[in-house]
Amino acid sequence: MRISRKAATVVLQHSSRRTLATAVVKSSLRSRTIVGTVAASASALGLGLWSYQQQQKTAECNALKATEPYPKGVMDAYDAALAFVPEYKKEFTPYLGSSITPDLVEKLKDPNDYRAKMEDMIMQAQAKIVNALSSIDGDAKFQVDRYERPNGEGGGLTTVLQDSEVFEKAGVNISVIRGNLKPQLAKQMTAQRGKQLGPGPHTFFASGISSVIHPRNPMVPTMHFNYRYFEVTASDGTKTWWYGGGADLTPYYLEDTDAVHFHQTLKDNCDLHDKSFYPHMKKTCDDYFMITHRKERRGIGGIFFDDLDATPTSKLNMKDQNSVFAFVTDMANSVNETYLPMVIARKDLPYTEQERDWQLVRRGRYVEFNLVYDRGTKFGLVTPQARIESIFISLPLTARWEYKHEVADDSREGKLMAMLRDPIEWVETDEEEKANSN
């Protein structure tokens, strides 16, 4: 099995509650290779598609299973994705619409104008991601909806693909807004998040890119990511800034290959800046996406960070704003290599009505988290002149709630639930690698 250009290491992790063959792949950071090319010997390394090993499926699925336990289409798709990804990292990609800030080009001449730099970055990232998703979905056309807030307070560019062949709903939004910060929000930022905002009244600037991609096929995971910049200006001109964001994966049928690929690619990009970032942000992500009233997580995590700045009290080692911006830019530019291989590999796999129903049940959990716990949703709803259509674009087109829905522990659904209740480490961190080498 060819995992990357470097040799791969497969580690079997065991726990008292379950035994899981977890592929821990260590790619070369220097070559920035990515995980995910599947070869015929995958089963020998403890990998495999549970959908073809642990449950009787429809006649179509069984026929495919009989001819090839690990479908060649999955192998070829990962190879195709590797060739496709470099197109995503061009130096410049034209925006999908005009910039939100009218004189953005002029402002970009100032290397210290991080408002302008962030807007430019997220508009390019949006175009790259939308172009990639459209290409995968038979050149399906995204609806591009540019809007402006009243009184010159910015606006946004919402792009959405709905009820298409591959993606039931995919939204990739950017927003660039400014205005007066409500006193109660300023107090919350000071009391709950330790922000030293200076004397009021305050104005704010916020920009970011956010996306949720809901596939039609339950064999393809849902992905969410967002990267954002927030700046508060006090009445005396003092500015306080920070970044936030992350990316996380919500599978319906867990495939080790996809989980390892997702986490390893995130780790590789984090490691370019500091090797302490991934383990810290992975744990933060597992904690953040907890559906407390269900005692389960929304998905298998990824990375999550908030309040990321360069102050002495920062939990992570950032020397200045340029370092933070460079990190956020690299993470936003890793979306395609993180997610596309599994979409290409699994979008055409057959599935049953039962598996579709399970996807809809899990989507219901997705809705619960977004409406009850998600900070971005809450902030959007209390922002003056909020654009509800853009805020709720993260919600799936269809979902399902069943009374007292339960699954068998030994089913594929049950295995996913065990993972959501008790997350594991999908890749080795440097500390674990050193411990295992001793």
Name the active-site residue from 202, 214, 224, 261: 224
Give the separation between CA 331 and CA 199, rounded to whole angstroms. Answer: 34
Q: Is residue 266 packed enough to be buried (19+ CB in 10 Å), middle (13-18) or exposed (0-12)?
A: buried
DSSP state string for 143-198: EEEEEE-GGG-EEEEEEEEES-SSEEEEEEEEEEEEEEEPHHHHHHHHHHH-----
Rg (C-alpha) for the chain, rounded Å, is 22
Give the separation between CA 345 and CA 220, rounded to whole angstroms. Answer: 9
Instruction: Please state the φ and ψ torsions of residue 128, each to the nearest 5 degrees.
Output: -65, -45
Give the separation between CA 31 and CA 4, rounded to whole angstroms. Answer: 10
Q: Give the number of C-alpha atoms closer than 13 A to the C-alpha of residue 133, restricted to the C-beta side.
A: 31
Task: Return the DSSP state at 107.
Answer: H
**What value, to the nearest 5°, has the Cα angle with vertex 288 and ends 232 and 392?**
70
Q: Using the CB atoms, write b or e for 187-216: b if 16+ within 10 Å.
A: eebeeeeebebbeeebebbbbbbbbbbbbb
Pairing between β-strand 239-250 and β-strand 167-181 as defined by DSSP bridges: unpaired
The answer to whether 224 is a known catalytic residue is: yes
* Inter-CA distances, 123 with 48, 93, 120, 395, Å: 38, 9, 5, 22
Residues tagged active-site: 224
